[in-house]
Structure 1
Amino acid sequence: MTDLFTAPPRGQEDPAFPERRSSRSGQRRRRRSKRGRSLVVLLVALVLVGGSGFAVWTNLDSLMGISNPVESKDFPGPGGDQIDVEIPEGATGTAMGQELYDAGVVASVSAFTAAFEANADSVLIRPGTHTMLEEMPARDAVALLVKNEMAELQLTIPEGYTADQIVERAVQVTGLPAADFEAALESPAEIGVPEEADGRAEGWLFPDTYVVKPNDTAVGLLTQMVDRTKGLLNGKNVPPADWETVLTKASLVEREGLHAEDKPKIARAIENRLEDSMALQIDSAVAYGAGKPGTELTDADLDNAENPYNTYEHTGLPPGPIANPGEVSIDAALNPTAGDWKYWVTVNLDTGETKFAETYEQHQEYVQELLEWQAANS
């Protein structure tokens, strides 16, 4: 086997049982009783320390876990100077409120959270850098975030993503329609993909972080990615006639190698197999053509000669790239490490440790090492 296995999807947590809930209810009642006694003691202490107790009172909600009127204060508005605030990807309303509070946009996290929950359109808020105003009413801050008039967005494409995965990520971050990206990919010449790619944009969408402006389009963003790929290949003095081949090899290396130091060795093993007219037997290529994860491949998939990406049934390179490779994998494809390896296998699926062999017999020893690891970690 030559594919890099991936961990299975995370399972769902077990549901809570009724008897556990009743037990926890009793624990909560006991904790509230203790909390009440603690609050009385703390209030007495505040009376004794006089004015200095106000500072402690303002933090009672964090100390006692109760609502604090001081923390719910709000600015009257209309707001002051402009300020840029970064809303992280996946941020909750509370996390957004904390970012805005730290920046001086809202007077309290609780006021923002209440306004966030009261606005049904708050689910439309996208991550990125939003231009806000200092000392805004919380309700106005939520409304401005919902408008999504951002100073800039950052779209980050990881190495090894397929075109479909890139579209999914771009839609999530930019809010642009998926149909716009899909239409652009169906007209690759419109986004700058050369004729050598035979109408496929796969492999040409360079993984990087792109700044998205408010007026950017799907065509414009994908064109930037293609331009980055062509600029990189030009900078490395790769003849245009070789671009598609280099990207195909680099995509195989990208999906097969976890560690940077392994990638030039994988590239060499691929070259050695091609020179000897051996089938590449790369599971990640078969999986790409079958449209499924490599961990779900069956014997029938490996025997399916109708899949043009089946590198068990067809010798030579697949019809094109199977992913969009990063610069490290492109460099590996251009400069493979010297060696006689023809086999590689990942023997530890946690660390990604990969071992290389020159002979099939040695390779089988490493495969056995993988099987033993799987048995010990299943």
Structure 2
Amino acid sequence: MSDTPPPSRRAAREAREARPTAETPSTGQAGDLEDLFTGRATTEAIGAPPARPTRRRRRAAGWIAFAIVVVLLGGLAGAGLWVWNTYEPQIRSLMGWQEPSDYEAGIAEGEATVTITSGDTGANVSDALFQAGVTRTSGVVYSYLVSSGQNPDFQPGVYKLQLKMTAAAAVAALLDPANRMSNTVQLQEGLTVSTSLERISSALQMSLDDLKAAAADPSAYGVSAPSLEGWLFPATYTFDPGTTPHDVIRTMVDRSVKALDDAQVAATDRERILTIASIIQREARNTDDFYKVSRVIQNRLDIGMKLQMDSTAQYGYGSMHDGTVSSSAAALADDNKWNTYVITGLPATPIANPGDLAIDAALHPAAGDWLYFVTVNLDTGETVFTSNDADHEAAVEQWRAWCTDHPDAGC
């Protein structure tokens, strides 16, 4: 028996750790037969399982796996979002997920004004309520009238209603004389002088002939233009009883002057700005596009290119309010001072009454090289702006395809 004391636990552990492993010092890889014959590895090392990865290596692998999952899920989510945005109406129709056309009862709020003119039908009233934010969809009131067998006699005037009303509640409110605002007239953006005078006459119970006579001489209101087209500012007006046609028109012209002064338009430049703004007002389907349409107009003017705006052709031909966005071949070819398919430059006068936003857009066009634009979806107002013939023609084909799928949309 040896006199050497037994090894300590620490020494035993060190001895175990010093045994050959399946990884060689030089390469860190499991040994092979050559290592066995040269003595660099034992038979135990050759057959041993690989060493467990370190904690740092396991953590890195986990993060890599997590990143891969995130990327895959993100790709699926992006693809799903694209499909939904592109085919939402078709998906809703297929799955029976159609959005309700009417608001729920009890959620009406705020205040809205709606103008009813003489001769308005249920369809006209239905669209006016939708445009004012009263109802959820443009046809819901008309559908309600048809389904309920009603044919009410809507009285001309301006009515005070609420936002987010049901179709039934909106109709009831229009038939209640208490909601009719006395001596009040509302002019929307984009109306011509002719239409504006008719609305004034209907709402204020004023002679249309007297109004036309009062509007015949623009110089009586300090306007040097050949007509008051574009000068009757779109707004809601309330007049005292006994107000004359001359006073009504002066109030509206003065309101236009104030809008131009607030926008810092020089007196000598008023007619030009109103003319550009009126085209923007009639051409742009969404307010977000006002400044882009303004840029298209300016870009074409800068290079001497005809504006070729359908609204000007329709105005000059007298077909602006025929219910379609397309111009007839006769309107496009008619040689008049407003048809920008024939003339170069701006039309002879404004073609409608622009609001504050259109005036601002005329003064501050967006930055861009666009020369064309096409509204490819008349329901949403989606408009494609392009700078060359090929892209423009592609957008036109997109519009034609939409019109084919929506034959009653007013193309």
Q: Same fold (TM over 0.5)?
A: yes
The 5-angstrom pairing of residues 61-76 of structure 1 reads none
| C-alpha spacing 1:364/1:300, structure 2 compared with 1 (3 Å) | same
Report the aligned-residue RMSD.
Answer: 2.9
Shift of 1:349: 1.2
- Structure 2 match to 1:282: 309
The question of whether the paired residues in 1 share the 8 Å contact of 2:284 and 2:290 is answered with: yes
* Secondary structure of residue in 2 paired with 1:354: strand
* Secondary structure of residue in 2 paired with 1:340: coil
Shift of 1:364: 0.7
* Secondary structure of residue in 2 paired with 1:337: coil
The question of whether the paired residues in 2 share the 8 Å contact of 1:286 and 1:302 is answered with: yes
| C-alpha spacing 1:328/1:183, structure 2 compared with 1 (3 Å) | same
Shift of 1:87: 12
Unaligned runs of 5+ in 2: 1-112, 119-152, 160-175
- In the superposition, the TM-score normalised over structure 2's length comes to 0.55
| C-alpha spacing 1:346/1:89, structure 2 compared with 1 (3 Å) | closer
- Structure 1 match to 2:183: 153
* Secondary structure of residue in 2 paired with 1:317: coil
Shift of 1:316: 0.4
The question of whether the paired residues in 1 share the 8 Å contact of 2:117 and 2:199 is answered with: no
The 5-angstrom pairing of residues 232-247 of structure 1 reads 232-247=259-274
Counterparts of 1:332 and 1:183, CA distance in 2: 33
Counterparts of 1:164 and 1:328, CA distance in 2: 22
- In the superposition, the TM-score normalised over structure 1's length comes to 0.60
Tell me if 1:311 matches 2:333: no
Which of 330, 341, 358 lines up with 1:329 in the alignment?
358
Shift of 1:153: 2.3
- Structure 1 match to 2:254: 227
The question of whether the paired residues in 2 share the 8 Å contact of 1:255 and 1:323 is answered with: yes
Higher relative contact order (CA 8 A, sep 6+): 1
The question of whether the paired residues in 2 share the 8 Å contact of 1:193 and 1:204 is answered with: no
Shift of 1:297: 3.2
| C-alpha spacing 1:338/1:174, structure 2 compared with 1 (3 Å) | same
Tell me if 1:261 matches 2:291: no
Tell me if 1:272 matches 2:302: no
The percentage of counterpart residues that share the same residue type is 38
The question of whether the paired residues in 1 share the 8 Å contact of 2:297 and 2:307 is answered with: yes
| C-alpha spacing 1:258/1:125, structure 2 compared with 1 (3 Å) | closer
Q: Which has a greater percent of helix?
A: 1
- Structure 2 match to 1:182: 212
Shift of 1:351: 1.3
* Secondary structure of residue in 2 paired with 1:248: helix
Tell me if 1:165 matches 2:195: yes
Q: Deviations over 1:270-289 (max 9, x none)?
A: 00000010000001101101
Counterparts of 1:351 and 1:153, CA distance in 2: 35
Amino acid in the other structure paired with 2:289: D
Larger Rg: 2
Counterparts of 1:375 and 1:323, CA distance in 2: 30
Amino acid in the other structure paired with 2:391: Q
Q: Deviations over 1:236-275 (max 9, x none)?
A: 2111110000000000000001211100000000000000
- Structure 2 match to 1:371: 400
Shift of 1:360: 1.3
Shift of 1:212: 1.8
Counterparts of 1:87 and 1:262, CA distance in 2: 25
- Structure 1 match to 2:43: none
